[in-house]
Structures are given as structure tokens and as C-alpha cells.
């Protein structure tokens, strides 16, 4: 996977916070906002090349005029192995597994949500769904560069490995048996979400210990996958915090 091009204050700032990802930083030579100087200093501290360029060049690099005068070339997103992910799972923890999420924008938003919820890792299949790309990094506003991602050649096998490591696997489905708001989530939780239109594959459903749902009003049948995952993930983390305080 080649370098990604990202742009805009938030995305570039997130990439710099991730450390070691930004290779080149281009700043507008015509209109410099005050917040660009700290970005330049941070990039230089990470040995990234910083260049001033006219707006016309930034427009070409970003293929957009919405770059806010900052464009960066970043290294491909690093992936960790499932074993590495498990080594990082200490105490109460949550993981997010994606079974065939196809839309790059949804994937980016899911990665940003996962980072905000504090998950220990996101399991991403190498086939049958969107992969890391410039569009995904941009949709995540740079968060894709910070959340641990595990590439899975066989998602069903990965879930079996997690179950053997005392994780409880919850599949998110509109027809699930259990309401996410009243659930006592396991201390080691995997939330699995499926494809935007097809949902979870049968082989993945078989690996789930429980199927959970978000109750909806007004006869609405479903939510966007990233919105639904966000609701469920923050229920998990809220439950884990309550458990920790009760000890």
C-alpha cells in the first residue's frame, strides 16, 4: 500500500499525534493560519519534510479545495497481529470486529468511533470488505492512524481464538434477542458488526455467543452501521467503567 494523502487540520493533526506516520507536510505559502506553525514544529520534530506550496499545488495534491491550507503524505497504516492485540488486552477490554463493511466512509467512521470508545483493537478482514485507503483515513479524520488494526485472513477463526482467550462475542443485529441498553456486558467483549446491506454472514453468526440489538422508535428498521456500532461500543465502555467503580 502506497502513501496516503490526507488534508485538513483535524486529519493532519491526528496523523502527527500518531507519531512517525507523516513523511511530508505541505503548508500554504499564501495563507497561513496560526495553528499551522505547531503542526510544522511537530512534523519537523518527527523528521518529516515540511514545504511551503501555493494553493494551486495543494488543490492538485488533495484533489479538493477543502484542505484548509495543509496537506500531508502519510505512511501506510501499520497492522498488528492478533497475538499482539491479545497481549495488549489487560483487564476489562473491548474489541470491534468488522464482517464485510464495504463503504470506505463507514469504515473510516467506525475506526474513529472505536478510537473514541477506547477499544483495544479493530479486526478487519483482508477480503470481503473495504480495506485501508486514503478515503478511509480521510473519513476517520486521521483516527485510522491511531487505532490498533488486526488484519484477519479468516474472521471466524479469529473469533474462535478470542473465545478461547475468554472473550464473549456479541453480534449486532436489528433482530437480536437482547437490548444493548440492558445488557451486562462481559469484561472481555468483542462486538461484531456486519455488511451495510447483508448484515453478518451465517458463519460469523455461529461464532457469536449472543445477538444484540438497538431498540428503535417510529418503525425505523435500522441505523447506519457506524452509528449503531458507536451506540453499542459506548454502552460496553460505560458498563465496564461502572463495574470498575463498584469494585
Averaged pLDDT for residues 143-169: 95
Query: What count of Cα atoms within 13 Å lies in the side-chain half-sphere of residue 223?
Result: 18
Residue 193 main-chain phi, psi, to 5 deg: -120, 150
Q: What span, in angstroms and rounded, lies between the C-alpha atoms of 204 and 159? A: 8
Residues 39 and 86 in one domain: no
- Do 30 and 89 sit in the same domain of this protein? no
Q: Report the relative pairing of strands 70-74 and 22-28 from DSSP bridges.
A: antiparallel
Q: Beta strands of the chain (E only): which ranges?
A: 4-7, 22-28, 49-53, 70-74, 79-80, 93-99, 121-125, 149-152, 168-172, 178-179, 188-194, 210-213
48 and 144, same domain (yes or no)? no
This prediction's pTM: 0.82
In terms of Cα–Cα distance, which of 189, 227, 224, 225 is closest to 208? 189
pLDDT score for 19: 80
For 123, the domain range is 79-246
Q: Domain of 11: which CATH number?
A: 3.30.1330.30
Name every residue whose Cβ is closer than 8 Å to that of residue 89 and which is 6 or more positions away in sequence: 95, 120, 121, 165, 188
The SS3 call for residue 117 is helix
Q: Is 86's pLDDT higher than 60?
A: yes
Q: Are residues 116 and 143 in the same domain?
A: yes
Q: Are residues 240 and 129 in the same domain?
A: yes
> What percent of the residues of the chain are helix, what percent strand, and what percent coil, each to the nearest 5?
40, 25, 40
Of the three residues 50, 74, 98, the one that is the final residue of a domain is 74
99 shares its domain with 24: no
Domain count, the chain: 2
Percent of the chain whose predicted confidence (pLDDT) is above 90: 76
Q: Tell me: the pLDDT tens digits for 23-47?
A: 899 999 998 889 999 999 999 998 8
How far is 28 from 180, CA to CA, in rounded Å?
47
**Do residue 181 and residue 85 come from a single domain?**
yes
- Do 120 and 95 contact (CB within 8 A), yes or no? yes
Residue 136's nearest CA partner among 6, 1, 228 is 6
Residue 107, pLDDT > 60, answer yes
Q: Which residues pair with 171 in a beta bridge?
A: 192, 211
Amino acid at each position: 500500500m502506497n502513501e496516503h494523502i490526507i488534508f485538513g487540520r483535524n486529519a493532519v493533526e491526528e496523523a502527527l499525534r500518531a507519531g512517525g506516520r507523516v513523511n511530508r507536510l505541505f503548508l500554504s505559502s499564501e495563507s497561513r493560519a496560526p495553528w499551522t506553525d505547531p503542526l510544522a514544529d511537530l512534523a519537523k520534530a518527527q523528521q518529516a519534510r515540511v514545504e511551503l506550496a501555493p494553493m494551486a499545488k495543494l488543490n492538485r495534491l488533495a484533489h479538493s479545495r477543502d484542505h484548509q491550507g495543509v496537506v500531508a503524505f502519510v505512511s501506510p497504516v501499520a497492522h498488528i497481529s492478533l497475538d499482539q492485540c491479545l497481549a495488549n488486552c489487560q483487564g476489562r477490554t473491548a474489541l470491534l470486529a468488522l464482517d464485510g463493511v464495504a463503504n470506505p466512509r463507514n469504515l473510516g467512521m467506525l475506526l474513529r468511533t472505536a478510537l473514541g470508545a477506547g477499544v483495544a483493537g479493530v479486526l478487519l478482514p483482508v477480503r470481503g470488505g473495504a480495506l485501508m485507503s486514503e478515503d478511509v483515513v480521510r473519513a476517520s479524520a486521521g483516527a485510522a492512524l491511531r487505532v490498533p488494526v488486526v488484519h484477519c485472513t479468516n474472521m471466524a477463526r479469529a473469533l474462535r481464538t478470542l473465545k478461547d482467550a475468554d472473550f464473549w462475542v456479541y453480534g449486532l443485529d436489528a433482530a437480536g434477542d437482547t437490548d444493548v441498553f440492558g445488557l451486562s456486558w462481559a469484561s472481555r467483549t468483542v462486538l461484531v458488526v456486519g455488511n451495510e446491506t447483508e448484515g453478518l454472514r451465517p458463519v460469523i453468526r455461529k461464532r457469536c455467543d449472543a445477538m444484540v440489538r438497538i431498540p428503535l422508535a417510529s418503525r425505523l428498521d435500522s441505523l447506519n452501521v457506524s452509528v449503531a456500532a458507536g451506540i453499542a461500543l459506548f454502552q460496553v465502555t460505560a458498563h465496564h467503567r461502572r463495574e470498575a467503580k463498584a469494585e
